[in-house]
C-alpha cells in the first residue's frame, strides 16, 4: 500500500470534519431521538448522521484504509493506515442545546497519528493539521501559548471529577494556576489551540476522544504528554502545555 501524501490527507481530514459537522448541525436544537448505549452514554440521530457523512468522505478518498469510529466500530481491511473518528464529541451537551460539541477525525500511520481535524459547528470553527504541514484553523495558522510557568497559566481541564478523585496533585495544580477553566469535550481543547488557555488536561477518556490532538499540538508548537512520556491518544490521558512546562506539571500531578 502506497503511503498517502500529507497534504492530501490533511485536506481530506478537514473535509470529513466539516461534512460531519454539517450533518450534526442539521439536527442541533431541533427534535431528535436520544438512545442510551450499553455504557450508559447517549447517542442520537445526529451522531449517526455525522458518522455516515465522515465515512463517506474518508472511504471515497482512501478506500484501501481501515476505519475505527465510535459508532460503527472497526471497518475495512486491517493495515498500516487507520482513520479514527468520533462523529460527535460532546453528545450530552449537544442534547442540552449547548454549542461545545463537534466531530473529531484523525489518521493513524505506522508511527502514530499523522493528521487530524475537528470542528465546532455551532461556533462555526474548524481546525486541521498534518505532519509537516502545520496546524490551522479557519482564522489562520495556529501558534499556541508560550507561557511556561504554572503560576502565570490559565489551566483548562476536562473530567474534573476523575482528576480530583484519582490524581493526587491535581488540586495543587488548580491552586497554583493563575486561572482555571473547566470545559469538557472538544471545546476544552480548542481553548488551548485558540490561546485562551495555556494548559489542557484530560483524563479517563477513549482513543477517539483524543485522536486528532497530538499532531495538532505538535504542529502548532506545543508539547503533548500521554502520561507515559509519549503522544499516544490510546492511553485516554493528555497533558498539553509549553514543552518547558510538561515535566514539572506531570511531576506535580503525580505527587502525593
Report yes or no: 86 and 211 within 8 Å, Cβ to Cβ: yes
Position 159 scores a pLDDT of 87
Q: What are the structural domain ranges in the chain? A: 6-141, 150-254
Using alpha carbons, select from 66, 65, 101, 96 the residue that is nearest to residue 183: 101
Report yes or no: 66 and 75 within 8 Å, Cβ to Cβ: yes
Q: pTM for the whole thing?
A: 0.94
Position 1 scores a pLDDT of 60
Report yes or no: 129 and 220 within 8 Å, Cβ to Cβ: yes
Spatial distance between the Cα atoms of 17 and 31, rounded to a whole number of angstroms: 23
Residue by residue, pLDDT tens for the chain (256 residues) are: 678 899 999 999 999 999 999 999 999 988 777 777 777 677 889 999 999 999 999 999 999 999 999 999 999 989 999 999 999 999 989 999 999 999 999 999 999 999 999 999 999 999 999 999 999 999 999 989 999 999 999 999 988 889 999 998 999 999 999 999 887 779 999 999 999 999 999 999 999 999 999 999 999 999 999 999 999 999 999 999 999 999 899 998 988 6
Q: Distances in Å between the alpha carbon of 55 and those of 43, 103, 135?
A: 17, 12, 23
Position 55 scores a pLDDT of 99
Does domain 6-141 fall under CATH 3.40.50.970? My reply is no
Spatial distance between the Cα atoms of 150 and 241, rounded to a whole number of angstroms: 10
Position 256 scores a pLDDT of 62
> How many residues in the chain?
256
CATH of 150-254, one of 3.30.1360.70, 3.10.450.50, 2.40.30.10, 3.40.190.80: 3.40.190.80
Position 42 scores a pLDDT of 76
Amino acid at each position: 500500500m502506497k503511503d498517502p501524501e500529507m497534504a492530501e490527507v490533511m485536506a481530506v481530514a478537514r473535509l470529513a470534519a466539516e461534512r460531519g459537522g454539517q450533518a450534526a448541525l442539521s439536527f442541533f436544537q431541533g427534535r431528535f431521538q436520544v438512545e442510551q448505549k450499553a455504557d450508559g452514554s447517549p447517542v442520537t440521530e445526529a451522531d449517526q448522521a455525522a458518522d455516515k457523512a465522515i465515512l463517506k468522505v474518508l472511504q471515497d478518498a482512501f478506500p484501501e484504509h481501515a476505519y475505527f469510529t465510535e459508532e460503527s466500530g472497526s471497518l475495512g481491511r486491517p493495515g498500516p493506515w487507520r482513520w479514527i473518528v468520533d462523529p460527535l464529541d460532546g453528545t450530552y451537551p449537544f442534547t442540552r442545546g449547548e454549542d461545545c460539541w463537534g466531530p473529531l477525525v484523525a489518521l493513524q500511520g505506522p508511527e502514530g497519528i499523522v493528521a487530524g481535524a475537528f470542528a465546532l459547528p455551532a461556533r462555526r470553527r474548524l481546525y486541521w493539521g498534518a505532519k509537516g504541514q502545520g496546524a490551522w484553523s479557519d482564522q489562520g495558522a495556529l501558534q499556541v501559548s508560550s507561557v511556561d510557568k504554572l503560576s502565570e497559566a490559565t489551566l483548562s481541564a476536562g473530567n474534573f471529577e476523575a482528576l480530583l478523585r484519582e490524581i493526587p496533585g491535581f488540586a495543587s495544580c488548580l491552586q497554583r494556576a493563575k486561572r482555571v477553566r473547566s470545559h469538557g469535550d472538544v471545546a476544552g481543547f480548542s481553548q488551548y489551540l485558540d490561546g485562551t488557555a495555556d494548559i489542557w488536561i484530560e483524563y479517563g477518556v477513549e482513543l477517539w476522544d483524543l485522536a486528532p490532538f497530538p499532531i495538532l499540538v505538535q504542529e502548532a508548537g506545543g508539547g503533548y504528554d500521554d502520561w507515559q512520556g509519549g503522544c499516544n491518544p490510546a492511553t485516554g490521558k493528555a497533558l498539553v502545555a509549553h514543552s518547558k512546562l510538561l515535566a514539572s506539571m506531570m511531576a506535580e500531578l503525580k505527587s502525593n
